[in-house]
Each structure stands twice: as C-alpha cells, then as structure tokens.
Structure 1
Amino acid sequence: MKAGKLTQSVVKALQSRPGDYVQWCGELPGFGCRVRPSGAKSFVAQYRIGGRRGVTRKVTIGSYGKLTVEEARTEAKRILRNAELGNDEAAERAKVRKEMTVAELCDEYLREGVDHKKVSTLATDKGRIERHIKPLLGNRRIGSIEDADVSRFMKDVANGKTAADVKTGKFGRAIVTGGKGTATRTVRLLGGIFAYAVKQKYLKMNPRAGVKVYADKKGERYLSADELARLGDALREAETIGLPWIMREGAKAKHRPKDADTQREIISVHAIAAIRLLILTGCRAGEILKLKWQDVDFERGFLNLSDSKTGAKVVVLAAPAMAVLEGIPRVKDNPYVIVGDKPGQPRSDLKRPWARVTVRAGLADVRLHDLRHTFASAGAGAGMGLPIVGKLLGHASQATTARYAHLADDPLRQGANLIAGSLAARLAGSTGNVVPIRGEQTNG
C-alpha cells in the first residue's frame, strides 16, 4: 500500500518503537520523518549521488516542533533538487561539521546521541561536559583534536586544572574537583562523544582511541570481617538504644539536648533495614529505595525489579535478606518498602543515617556503594565463580538472569545464600544471632 502525503496530523500521530524508523512521504519521494525510541521526531531527506548504483545519502532537515511539515517539505525539495544537479548536501554538511567546535559537538551529542542513557547518567554526563570538557577543549575544532590532546586533557583534569567552587543557585554550591578517577571517567565520556562524531561521519578516527587512562579505582573499597562486625554493632545500636549525639563545636545551646533522654538518636527502622538489604543483596541504593512490596516475591524468594541501571532484572534473595524484609513494618497507603517522611513516597536517600552509623563504627571513609563491592568480594573470596557473582549483581542480561527464576535450587540460590550467610554472620559479630539458610539444619 502506497504511503500517503506526510502532513502535520500524520507526523503528530507517529508513535515510537524500540528502534529508529522513518515514515516516508508518498507525495514527495525522499522526504520523511524519523522517529526515535525516545519519541523525538525529525525531518530527513534521502537521495542518491551517482545514478542508480551511486551512494545513498540521508540528511537531517530539522526537528519536528521547531519546523512545520510544510517548512521541512520546502527544504527537502531544495536538497533533492540540488542532488539532481550533482550537489551532495550531506558531504557539504560533513565538511562543515568537521570544523565544528568540541562544545558544539557536545551539545549535539546531548540532543541526538543519548537516547540509550538513563536520566541519572545523563545528568552526570552534563556535569562533566560543562565542568571539564568545555573549559579545556570547548573552543577547539573537532578536526584538530589528536590523541596527544586527549592525553593532555586527562592530565590537566587529574591535576585539578578544572577544579572550581561553582555557585548553583542563590545559596547552593558545587565543589568541582579533579583527580585521576574524575579524569578517567571524563575521558571515557569524551571518547563516547567522539565515537558519536565518527558514526555521524564528522570524523574518520576517534582521537580517544589509543589513549591509556588511569586505573579507575572507584568501588575497590570493601569491608573486612572486623569492619562488618563493627558496622553490625552500630546498626543494632542505632535501631535499639540509639546512637550518641555528636556535638558540633560552636553549636548553639538551643540545639543541644536538654536531658539525658535526648542524648541518643534512634535511627529509622526503615533506614537500618535498607542498609542491611544493601549488604545482603548486593543491590544498588536506588534499587532498594525504590523497591515496592509488589516487587517482593516472598514465596519464591526474589525481588522483581522493573527498572535498574541495567534494566529490568530479578534479584535472588537469601534467607538473611528474606528475614530483614519480613521484619520491616508496612505503612498504610504507602506501596514502598523503605518509606520516608512524605506520605505515599519512598525515603529519598540514606545519606544522614549512613553517615551517623559509619562514624559510630569508625568507617567514615566507606560509601554506600562499597557494600555492593563487599557483596561481590565475599562471593569471590569464597571461591565462587565470577559468572555467578555477576548474575547475582545483575551484570548479565535480563534473559540470562530471568531463566533461573524457574529453578528451586540452583547455583544462583546457593551463591546468594553463601554470600549473604557469610555477611550476616560477620554483621552479627559475637553477640548477634545468625539466620540459618533455608534447607539447612542447625544444632541444638
């Protein structure tokens, strides 16, 4: 069936699909509207240079919303008419784009090349672009950037050349630091931006290729058996008798406790449970904070996460993690497992309780994400195969992980029990009780 004329109503009604597609106009051959998975729409013109066996070119005319269909049609006619005369619009644009600045390339990348990225990742990318890439390379033409320039850029970021105290609002501030970790991650982003330029044929080679980055030690911190025992003691203290108040030097008298009964602070049972779940499951903080009761399969022992950093996934729960979940009080009319102060909403973060607990445990240098690394380290240290550890952490594809949900007693279940059982024992220290793994017998 021949496609109809591309009109404003037709374009407006176009729906997104898992992959890009173009709705072509039946009246003007070579004129179409490209629809991306994100729903973004742009007008394109496609033509052939060199006769029937020549090379097919496709150029973007502009975005739907900024251009009307008729404005785009007029431009498409011009491009197609020039192609008949032997003028290659795409080649001319590529030549111009080669002379675009790095800042202009970054802006286009953020508009056109990030459909696959999550909102949180995109926010981090924008920060690195604005605070590191643009200040050092923004005015350079992309065609002039070589691997030596990328290496110099990495060293400059590592040495703190872009460090700054940035005002983020009327009262807000953001301290921009350098360091090798920041330099490595920013260069990797820069490489992705240049890869986009190569894909768009603005460049022939990626200048990031061949540049050796610093070893990224992010996440290498993990807790020893002694540190886990101290953390476990602090968690128990926080949820029972409370943690001692820490008096800030110079704090006003009206903010100090008036009597002995207020000398300690009991931390929310939901916050403490969230920290325990991070230790015993290897999940990311966002996955636990956004967890809903409907996602918890108590019967089979799984968390069914519809959205995570790597997409939907299934998390295998060991007995200690199940025990934590079963002990969390439910709040009426709130679907979330870890609730906060706002009715019907989850707790937004764990910064304050984590800071209080880690200071008490003498672990002020430990991050929440280090609990995930501790989970993986416990599995690797126990001689477990890395593929199993990777699957437990959700590093494998959804299809690979999901098929284990139908098995009652498989390597993933054994792995989860082994890791969480070991971690729970360390958390319990010498005074706590260890939850036995289901299916195992205990003496007594």
Structure 2
Amino acid sequence: MPKLTKRIVDAAEARPAPYFLWCTELRGFGARVFPSGRRVYYADYRTTGGLRRRMAIGEHGKITVEEARKLAINTMSDVIRGEDPVEERITRRKSMTIAELCERYLKAADKGQILGRARKPKKASTLVSDRGRIEHHIIPLLGRRLARDLTTADVQRFVREVQEGKTAKRYKTKARGIVLVEGGDGAASRSAGLLGGIMSYAIGEGIIALNPVRGVKKPADQKRDRRLSPEEYQALGRVLAEADEQGESWQSTHSIRLLCLTGCRMREIANLRWAEVDLSGSCLRLSDTKEGRSVRPVGQAAVALLRQIAERQAGAHVLPATRGKGGFGGIPDAVERYTRRAELRGVGAHTLRHSYASTAGDLGLSDSTIGAMLGHAGHGVTSRYIHHLDAVLIAAADKVAEKLSSYF
C-alpha cells in the first residue's frame, strides 16, 4: 500500500468485515474501513513493555488524512518517549468530572453530533435550554463528581434537590434583564432527562459503562395541568391595563397579550419577526420552532393587536429589546411580575399556552384542530409551500382569540 491519501481512503470499498489500509510512508498509521462505509484513522504501536496498542485518532470526513497523519506522528513521538497514549486516554476518561463531561457534550452538540428529535442535530434553541439546565442545576449539584462514580442514588438525590428548589435563584444580566431559575417538578424532570442523555453520550464515548439515570423516578410536571379561569383572566387583564396606564414597557404587557391570544411558546413570541407575520393571511409563518418550520393561525383579536404594535415601531422584531438589539428578553420577568400582581399562583408562560388550548377545548374544537393551532408535532401545518391556511383553522383561532380578548 502506498502513502495513505484522501483519494485512497475515499475509494476504499466497504466489505462484509472491517479491514485496514496501512500507510507505507508512516509505519503504524492507517485507516479502518467498516462494513457501514465509515472510515476511522488509527495509530498502531507497541508500548515499552511490548504490549500492542491500537488507538483511534479520528473519523474520516471530520478530520483530513493530513490532520490524522500529524496526530499519528505526535502519538508515535509520545511512544518513543516511553508514554502510552491509549492508557493515558483511558485514565483521563475515567477521571472526568460531570462538569468536564457536560462541557464535552456541549462541544459535540455544537458540532451537530448530538441528535435530538427525528434523529436530527439538536436545534440552537434547544441547546440554549440545555446549557441553562447544565449551568443552573447539573453543575452546581453534581459538577465535581467523577462521571465513573455517579450512582443511581446520586441522581435520585439530584432530582429531589432540584424539586425542593435548592438551585432556584434570581439574577440580573446586562442583555436580558432578570433571569429566574426555578426548581420544582418540571425543572427536576427535564434536568434529569438531560442528564440521562449526557450519560448516554458518555457510554458511547467509552467514559462509563452503565447509565446511572436509568431507573430514576422522575416527577410529573404538575404545572402543565394549570389553566386560568375566567376570573383569573379578568384579573390579569386589569393588571395589564393598569401597567399600560402607568407607562410600563409596552413590550412587557403586549408580550403577555400575545401569549394569551396566540397560544405560542414564550421563545416564539420573544423571537417573532415581522417577516414571519402574515396579517392578510391571519397567520404566523414561524421559521424556527421546536418542531421546525410551522404555520400558526391567529384570530382577528391577535391580528388587531399586531397591527397596533406595527404602528408603534418598524424594527425587525415584533417585540424589540428595550435595550440593545434583538428580540425582547424580558418575558419571563413580565409573566412573573404581572401574575404576582394579579395574585395568580403557579402561572408561567406555558400556563398561558395550556389555557389557550383548554379554552379551545371548551369551545368544542377537536384535538387535531387544537394540535394544529398550537403547532404540535404530528398536527402542525409545517410545509414551507403552504400559502393559504385552511379556513377552518383560521375560524377556530378567531373563535378562541375572540373569547380570550374579552378579558383584555
């Protein structure tokens, strides 16, 4: 076999069993071709004690053959100095802390190597949530623990402590105002789910053998069953009207109204751009949601509110940031502030979305119609080629928005 080159590696055909292509120019440097067609570069050497080692350097396509060659040369240099790179790698992996593992997981996710829904790389918005849960819950409680030593009992204790609010806090940021970190059942369940994914990644990387999150009892998120009653809607409407009269940020009050009248997720409203608003078509053509592209019908009450906002400003975002650029980041604080004034307990942005869906159910709309209105996976109108929404969906959204607008 001549010098290993990209052309040779690319041309190598898959066989029923894995095989190696060895480079004659650099002894011990080769590429392994798997039946799946996957190709991985290796460095083959013997330790000073005569033990044969074969260390994976990187996957073809993710690194070039020349990059792999340089890494192989470095590996061979370490061997000449009496070191054992494979043993060092094993030792390093076994001594990795949870904080270090999380950092490695996020780097892999940024490269698109962590798959989420539909076996596709995790969305940027999902990674923002993952980083938040890692930073605010996982690292404070488990960051210093060694990944190999984490037990199911440790994880169960972690879930209990997040439930009890041990990691809950409130702090200010320059860009987004006040950030609320909550404990409770929902935070505990979702953080444990993320931790399970991180530990599954660790198994695939050879860092641990078993997932300690498996078998852990996670609480149900009771907040998601909460809905507003007509009296609570009225109380919230009065608080918003008073805030407007007192000259409070119009982004704060209108963000709550938009959440109530559209059933959208908080991030969808915070990042909503005018380019995604189709007033004549009575819909929002969202380019990036939890389910990907999504078209949402909106009722006339929501359309009227959007027209009112359009008259006030002409920026790219429907709700621009009060300071700096980008969308309005103060929705969590607005929800907390106004629901507290209205004396509503256990109400978050998702409560408003759930209440929208519940109101639709009260009006006799079918589950499939409600699912399409909310953009749920399997129900949403997601095609990029749809230009006119079903009149039934628009009428349904109009019916719900008309009912809810009476409170505002």
SS of structure 1 residue aligned to 2:397: helix
The code of the aligned residue for 1:100 comes to M
Q: Is the 8 Å Cα contact of residues 136 and 167 (structure 2) preserved in structure 1?
A: yes
Aligned with residue 214 of structure 2, among 189, 209, 213: 209
Question: In structure 2, do the counterparts of structure 1 residues 98 and 418 end up closer, same or farther at CA, with 3 Å as the change threshold?
Answer: farther
Aligned pairs for 1:130-169 (under 5 A) are 130-159=135-164
The code of the aligned residue for 1:363 comes to L
SS of structure 1 residue aligned to 2:289: coil
Q: Is the 8 Å Cα contact of residues 31 and 73 (structure 1) preserved in structure 2?
A: no
The offset of 1:375, in angstroms, is 1.0
Aligned with residue 227 of structure 1, among 228, 232, 253: 232
Q: Is the 8 Å Cα contact of residues 281 and 388 (structure 2) preserved in structure 1?
A: no
The code of the aligned residue for 1:105 comes to L
Q: Is the 8 Å Cα contact of residues 195 and 213 (structure 2) preserved in structure 1?
A: yes
Q: Tell me the equivalent position of 2:58.
A: 60
> Following the alignment from structure 1 to structure 2, what is the Cα–Cα distance between the partners of residues 311 and 317?
18
After superposition, the C-alpha distances for 1:288-309 in whole angstroms (9 at most, x for unaligned) are 2332322221222111122234
User: Does residue 93 of structure 2 align to residue 112 of structure 1?
Assistant: no
> Following the alignment from structure 2 to structure 1, what is the Cα–Cα distance between the partners of residues 73 and 250?
66
The code of the aligned residue for 1:395 comes to H
> Following the alignment from structure 2 to structure 1, what is the Cα–Cα distance between the partners of residues 169 and 259?
33
User: Does residue 372 of structure 2 align to residue 391 of structure 1?
Assistant: yes
Aligned with residue 199 of structure 1, among 177, 199, 204: 204
> Following the alignment from structure 2 to structure 1, what is the Cα–Cα distance between the partners of residues 357 and 156?
32
Q: Tell me the equivalent position of 1:375.
A: 356
Q: Is the 8 Å Cα contact of residues 4 and 30 (structure 2) preserved in structure 1?
A: no
Q: Which runs of 5+ in 1 are unaligned?
A: 7-24, 33-42, 49-55, 83-87, 243-264, 429-444
Greater mean alpha carbon deviation, residues 373-382 or residues 338-347: 338-347
Q: Is the 8 Å Cα contact of residues 267 and 353 (structure 1) preserved in structure 2?
A: no
The number of residues matched between the two structures is 355
Q: Which runs of 5+ in 2 are unaligned?
A: 7-22, 33-38, 45-53, 79-83, 113-120
Question: In structure 2, do the counterparts of structure 1 residues 181 and 306 end up closer, same or farther at CA, with 3 Å as the change threshold?
Answer: closer
After superposition, the C-alpha distances for 1:324-349 in whole angstroms (9 at most, x for unaligned) are 22233435652332345558765442
Q: Tell me the equivalent position of 1:103.
A: 99
The offset of 1:424, in angstroms, is 2.4
> Following the alignment from structure 1 to structure 2, what is the Cα–Cα distance between the partners of residues 298 and 124?
31
The offset of 1:224, in angstroms, is 0.6
> Following the alignment from structure 1 to structure 2, what is the Cα–Cα distance between the partners of residues 411 and 80?
69
The offset of 1:282, in angstroms, is 0.8
Q: Is the 8 Å Cα contact of residues 255 and 269 (structure 2) preserved in structure 1?
A: yes
The offset of 1:213, in angstroms, is 0.7
Question: In structure 2, do the counterparts of structure 1 residues 406 and 162 end up closer, same or farther at CA, with 3 Å as the change threshold?
Answer: closer
Aligned with residue 73 of structure 1, among 64, 69, 72: 69
Q: Is the 8 Å Cα contact of residues 178 and 333 (structure 2) preserved in structure 1?
A: no
The offset of 1:419, in angstroms, is 2.4
SS of structure 1 residue aligned to 2:311: coil
Q: Is the 8 Å Cα contact of residues 335 and 344 (structure 1) preserved in structure 2?
A: no
> Following the alignment from structure 2 to structure 1, what is the Cα–Cα distance between the partners of residues 171 and 251?
34
After superposition, the C-alpha distances for 1:227-267 in whole angstroms (9 at most, x for unaligned) are 1123233434544xx1xxxxxxxxxxxxxxxxxxxxxx134
Q: Is the 8 Å Cα contact of residues 99 and 141 (structure 1) preserved in structure 2?
A: yes
Q: Tell me the equivalent position of 2:35.
A: none
> Following the alignment from structure 2 to structure 1, what is the Cα–Cα distance between the partners of residues 173 and 297?
41
TM-score by length of 2: 0.68
TM-score by length of 1: 0.63
The code of the aligned residue for 1:369 comes to H
Q: Is the 8 Å Cα contact of residues 264 and 374 (structure 2) preserved in structure 1?
A: yes
> Following the alignment from structure 2 to structure 1, what is the Cα–Cα distance between the partners of residues 273 and 122?
24
The offset of 1:280, in angstroms, is 1.1
> Following the alignment from structure 1 to structure 2, what is the Cα–Cα distance between the partners of residues 58 and 354?
51
User: Does residue 394 of structure 2 align to residue 413 of structure 1?
Assistant: yes
Question: In structure 2, do the counterparts of structure 1 residues 305 and 91 end up closer, same or farther at CA, with 3 Å as the change threshold?
Answer: farther
Q: Which one has a larger percent helix, Structure 1 or Structure 2? A: 2
Aligned with residue 290 of structure 1, among 253, 256, 271: 271
Question: In structure 2, do the counterparts of structure 1 residues 142 and 408 end up closer, same or farther at CA, with 3 Å as the change threshold?
Answer: closer
After superposition, the C-alpha distances for 1:65-124 in whole angstroms (9 at most, x for unaligned) are xx9986742333577999xxxxx9889956863453333322221222454445554454
User: Does residue 323 of structure 2 align to residue 317 of structure 1?
Assistant: no
> Following the alignment from structure 1 to structure 2, what is the Cα–Cα distance between the partners of residues 317 and 111?
38
The code of the aligned residue for 1:142 comes to A
The code of the aligned residue for 2:216 comes to V
Question: In structure 2, do the counterparts of structure 1 residues 412 and 4 end up closer, same or farther at CA, with 3 Å as the change threshold?
Answer: farther
Q: Is the 8 Å Cα contact of residues 30 and 80 (structure 1) preserved in structure 2?
A: no
SS of structure 1 residue aligned to 2:383: helix
SS of structure 2 residue aligned to 1:215: coil
RMSD between aligned residues: 4.7
The code of the aligned residue for 1:387 comes to S
Question: In structure 2, do the counterparts of structure 1 residues 78 and 234 end up closer, same or farther at CA, with 3 Å as the change threshold?
Answer: closer
Q: Tell me the equivalent position of 1:190.
A: 195
SS of structure 2 residue aligned to 1:60: strand
The offset of 1:173, in angstroms, is 10
> Following the alignment from structure 1 to structure 2, what is the Cα–Cα distance between the partners of residues 188 and 316?
32
Question: In structure 2, do the counterparts of structure 1 residues 349 and 153 end up closer, same or farther at CA, with 3 Å as the change threshold?
Answer: closer
After superposition, the C-alpha distances for 1:195-233 in whole angstroms (9 at most, x for unaligned) are 111233434432212212112224433211111123233
